[in-house]
Structure 1
């Protein structure tokens, strides 16, 4: 059965510049992706029907109904390509939902990548940027799952060569949902300046303060991560997942062991950047 990884997304820095009239926000972000994530597999159908089964640690937290981003992505690709084929899709949900690491967006992007192969489509015949953007602001970045500098609402993307591949990273989430909408609405509206993607370590996440106001546990996660002496610890996206970058896998794994022992109710993922 063909499979595709829905790589976990990290916002290494996220600057919110303005609130737009359409309800979105102008932002600047450096997107990076982990080598791990959810897993998607599929079997083809010749009747055009689409089904979705969800398995894995967080399966109970996700609705497999028609509004699921996996099925929405599959329908969008059917429409864009004109194919009469369908698929039985299986999502192994190992990333927590509403967690700031692009779970749903990454799943949608993985669906597009997987079904292009499964259905034997010609990628050059499909307007993938348009299809991806129709599914959500983070889906275009997740489609390529490579380090990118995003502007606009995150859909205007430029590749950035920062040589991040292989960098050890530890993800930690207190397993408290942190919905994106309320976090953005909690932003104080102050433009604190632009993001230079080459100087991303000097950047910030402007959504950290409103996310912590909604989910105070994020502040504890950040404090615990910083106590592990990483090269950087920061919240990703709109939370609640936070990440820490380390100089070696041994340092990362030792930090993961300590946090798992002290906070067995938190979710952790020891991985690396792509």
Structure 2
């Protein structure tokens, strides 16, 4: 059985306040995009091992047991669901360290796949609860629809928002940004206008009012990321932003950009018409 975990972009991101537990409350909009990994799970016959894990595509660092796909499997296993031994193959295409939620998506889709394969009977709400235990934004990928996210990025409110017909140009330089570093120069404050209200305005107006608070500190440390955003506007984007804490940057265009791969050198670059 195979499934295709997809990425997301952040439309705006406001760091609202620091919490007593050291984390930060924020508000952002998660929007799914069809940049995908591939995740396949098959029965593992005649094996004493609970699973075998293979990865191809982009190199994934770390031990297998630290991968969110395996953490999702082990979570359901410890909850006493009857999971037979499985052979897991993850083809990694979504860039890591990019602010695109690729690892979180892999975990959520693993929960959905195991639920279907082994007929566990889990509701979407139950799967969301399990996914939330693996990461703040993991639960978003269970329903995989646009949401206004608050809390630490784990409280979701569905919103009516469609970017259908726009072209997305996504650029990921050969840089990974640690979320901790991105918070260094951020001064939490409540926005004068909520992103939920800004998103109701025409996309062409977002440039002046929809901000990502992480850009200030990240652009100071990595001016080449700031340069990508500027270039997207030079190419005609109606809105451009870094996604999450970076390092991926995207632009929304009314028309497809010709020869876009050639314009960003050795960066990972993809163009998609949004659905």
TM-score by length of 1: 0.89
Task: Give the distance between the partners of 2:164 and 2:235, measured in 1 at CA.
Answer: 22
Deviation at 1:67, TM superposition (A): 0.8
Please give the secondary structure, in 2, of the residue aligned with 1:9. strand
How does 1:121-270 map onto structure 2 within 5 Å? 121-124=120-123, 127-200=126-199, 201=206, 202-248=209-255, 251-252=256-257, 254=258, 257-258=259-260, 260-270=261-271
How many residues align? The count is 265
Task: Give the distance between the partners of 2:211 and 2:234, measured in 1 at CA.
Answer: 19
Q: Does 1:97 align with 2:96?
A: yes
Please give the secondary structure, in 2, of the residue aligned with 1:121. coil
Unaligned 5+ residue runs, structure 2? 200-205
Please give the secondary structure, in 2, of the residue aligned with 1:83. coil
Task: Give the distance between the partners of 2:125 and 2:190, measured in 1 at CA.
Answer: 37
Partner in structure 1 of residue 50 of structure 2 = 49
Q: Is the CA contact 2:4–2:38 (under 8 Å) kept in the aligned structure 1?
A: yes
Task: Give the distance between the partners of 2:242 and 2:124, measured in 1 at CA.
Answer: 38
Assess, with a 3 A threshold, how the Cα gap between structure 1 residues 13 and 44 changes in structure 2: closer, same or farther: same
Offset from partner CA, 1:137-160 (integer Å, 9 cap, x none):
110112222111111111111111
Offset from partner CA, 1:162-191 (integer Å, 9 cap, x none):
233453211101121111122124323344
How does 1:56-75 map onto structure 2 within 5 Å? 56=57, 58-59=58-59, 61-75=60-74
Assess, with a 3 A threshold, how the Cα gap between structure 1 residues 3 and 186 changes in structure 2: closer, same or farther: farther
Assess, with a 3 A threshold, how the Cα gap between structure 1 residues 265 and 165 changes in structure 2: closer, same or farther: same
Partner in structure 2 of residue 32 of structure 1 = 31
Assess, with a 3 A threshold, how the Cα gap between structure 1 residues 80 and 166 changes in structure 2: closer, same or farther: farther
Task: Give the distance between the partners of 2:186 and 2:124, measured in 1 at CA.
Answer: 40
Deviation at 1:110, TM superposition (A): 1.5
CA RMSD of superposed structures (Å): 2.0
Assess, with a 3 A threshold, how the Cα gap between structure 1 residues 127 and 39 changes in structure 2: closer, same or farther: same
Q: Is the CA contact 1:178–1:215 (under 8 Å) kept in the aligned structure 2?
A: no
Please give the secondary structure, in 2, of the residue aligned with 1:240. coil
Task: Give the distance between the partners of 1:79 and 1:48, measured in 2 at CA.
Answer: 15
Offset from partner CA, 1:63-122 (integer Å, 9 cap, x none):
352111110011112233521423211111112111100111111111112211222220
Larger helix percent = 1
Please give the secondary structure, in 1, of the residue aligned with 2:240. strand
Task: Give the distance between the partners of 2:141 and 2:218, measured in 1 at CA.
Answer: 22
Task: Give the distance between the partners of 1:115 and 1:150, measured in 2 at CA.
Answer: 26
Q: Is the CA contact 1:215–1:240 (under 8 Å) kept in the aligned structure 2?
A: no
Partner in structure 1 of residue 203 of structure 2 = none
Deviation at 1:264, TM superposition (A): 2.4
Please give the secondary structure, in 2, of the residue aligned with 1:82. coil
Q: Is the CA contact 2:35–2:94 (under 8 Å) kept in the aligned structure 1?
A: no
